[in-house]
Copies of this chain bind each other. A is one copy, B any other.
Amino acid sequence: MRTTEIEIRTGNKAVVYDLGDEIDQFLAEAGAKDGLLHVWVPHATAGLAVIETGAGSDEDLLTAIDQLLPRDDRWRHQHGTHGHGRDHVLPAFVPPYASIPVVGGRVATGTWQSICLVDTNIDNPLRRVRFSFLPG
């Protein structure tokens, strides 16, 4: 297994960050052929989503999260900025792991799929992401 952890600057607002370039670079450096790419976020307030980006769905996802897990007073977890407790529930629904087949050195994604970091935590501008490649 080849594994490495990188740092992503997500800033101080909620973002859907497309990891495509970082994944291409990792697979190239790993000399990956066929196997499984594993993506992992070692944080309790972020997740990973495989969605289309650039046509509104990234914003739609953040809006849906705001509606389903509102940034309000309902949360028992009381640390951080107002409503931050909902960021701690997010990873149960948008998990911090994703796995994608790699065929001939490239992720077997469809045309409209991007592997994205979903970071709704506005208190933490830097995030780590771990890529691992399991040869098949």
- A interface, CB within 8 angstroms of B: 1-3, 5, 34-36, 38, 40-44, 47, 49-52, 55-57, 59-61, 63-64, 68-69, 74-79, 85-86, 88-89, 91-101, 103, 108-113, 118, 128, 130, 132, 134-136
Take A42-B110, A44-B112, A44-B113 as given contacts and tell me if A85 and B99 are in contact as well, using a CB distance cutoff of 8 Å: no
How many monomers of this protein are in the complex? Answer: 3
25 A-B pairs, CB-CB below 8 angstroms?
A1-B35, A3-B34, A3-B108, A3-B136, A35-B134, A40-B108, A42-B109, A42-B113, A43-B112, A44-B50, A44-B52, A44-B113, A50-B96, A51-B89, A52-B77, A56-B76, A56-B77, A56-B85, A57-B76, A61-B89, A63-B74, A63-B76, A64-B89, A91-B113, A97-B100
